Amino acid sequence: MTRRSGPGPRPSKGRPEGSTTDQRLLDSRDDSDWVHTDPWRVLKIQAEFVEGFNDLAEVGPAIAVFGSARIPADHPAYQLGVKIGGALVDAGFTVITGGGPGAMEAANKGAAEAGGESIGLGIELPWEAKLNDYVTFGLNFRYFFVRKMMFVKYTQGFVVLPGGLGTLDEMFEAMTLSQTLKITTFPIVLMGVEHWSGLIDWMKGSMLDDGRIKQTDLDMLTLTDDVDEAVALMVAARDRHA
């Protein structure tokens, strides 16, 4: 595999600087011409699916690592990301991240330095123009929903480092897909006990106590600071389906 550079955000004539393909698609509901333009967008969406399916089809067992793009290199979570990336490669996994800076860069760095495949699935954003320097193979997507499909389809589990809204989005989507049996035996490990404990406590005290989720939903999550434990869970899930 070879590294592929991304298109990066670019202004287009007649469009606000920094606008993205996703934004133009979703904002077109207010455009009287959407009935003529949206059907053509389907072809672009189809092309992204085809390219992703084609380029990722032969990737070996893989784990996705998520986390904040805003974590600096001297943050403990960054160092944790480097360790988890390397440990996953040592266990025989490919590491896939969103390809950005911060925690994503950390996991890609750990994977690359361990001699493994370090994949980045980038997304067109107004403030991120390229994949991080530790990605050995990269794809850039214009549509979030296409990119999210690739993460779930081509990985066997998620490791979730401290993060923000995007990280929560990926985590809860994986939980929802597991809850509804769209994906099965899909371990989700939250790395960083101090960071994630408040969220888990709230889910127990509000959602679980009020009957809006079940204990089995919470049991999808493993909360730990132990890299070896996280990797062991991924290996066990892989071996069950070997």
State the pLDDT confidence band at 11, using cuts at 50, 70 and 90: very low
**pLDDT value at 1 more than 70:** no
In a domain, 8, yes or no: no
In a domain, 145, yes or no: yes
In a domain, 2, yes or no: no
Phi/psi zone of residue 15: left (φ > 0), alpha (ψ -120 to 50 degrees), beta? beta
C-alpha distances in Å from residue 19, one per residue of 16, 38, 64, 217: 6, 17, 27, 37
Look at residue 6 in the predicted model and tell me its pLDDT: 40
Look at residue 9 in the predicted model and tell me its pLDDT: 34
CB 186 within 8 A of CB 156: yes
If one counts the domains in the chain, the total is: 1
Of 38 and 74, the one with more pLDDT? 74
In a domain, 9, yes or no: no
**pLDDT value at 217 more than 60:** yes
In a domain, 210, yes or no: yes
pTM of the model: 0.86
User: For residue 157, what are the domain limits?
Assistant: 21-240
**pLDDT value at 17 more than 60:** no
d(CA 8, CA 171): 25
State the pLDDT confidence band at 5, using cuts at 50, 70 and 90: very low
d(CA 42, CA 220): 34
In a domain, 215, yes or no: yes
| pLDDT-wise least confident of 14-18, 117-121, 238-242 | 14-18
**pLDDT value at 136 more than 90:** yes
Residues 151-176, mean pLDDT to the nearest whole number: 97
State the pLDDT confidence band at 89, using cuts at 50, 70 and 90: very high
d(CA 55, CA 12): 28
In a domain, 232, yes or no: yes
CB 227 within 8 A of CB 80: yes
Helix ranges (H only) for 187-226 are 193-202, 215-218
Look at residue 39 in the predicted model and tell me its pLDDT: 77
Look at residue 33 in the predicted model and tell me its pLDDT: 58
β-bridge pairing 118-123 and 158-160: unpaired
**pLDDT value at 16 more than 50:** no
CATH number of the domain where residue 67 is located: 3.40.50.450
In a domain, 15, yes or no: no
State the pLDDT confidence band at 212, using cuts at 50, 70 and 90: very high
- Structure token digits, residue 131: 């994949």
d(CA 99, CA 164): 16
The residue assigned the tokens 């549509």 is 143
Long-range contacts of 221-225 (CB under 8 A, 24+ apart): 221/175, 221/188, 221/189, 221/190, 222/187, 222/188, 222/189, 222/190, 223/189, 223/190, 223/193, 223/196, 223/197, 224/189, 224/190, 224/191, 224/193, 225/80, 225/191, 225/192, 225/193
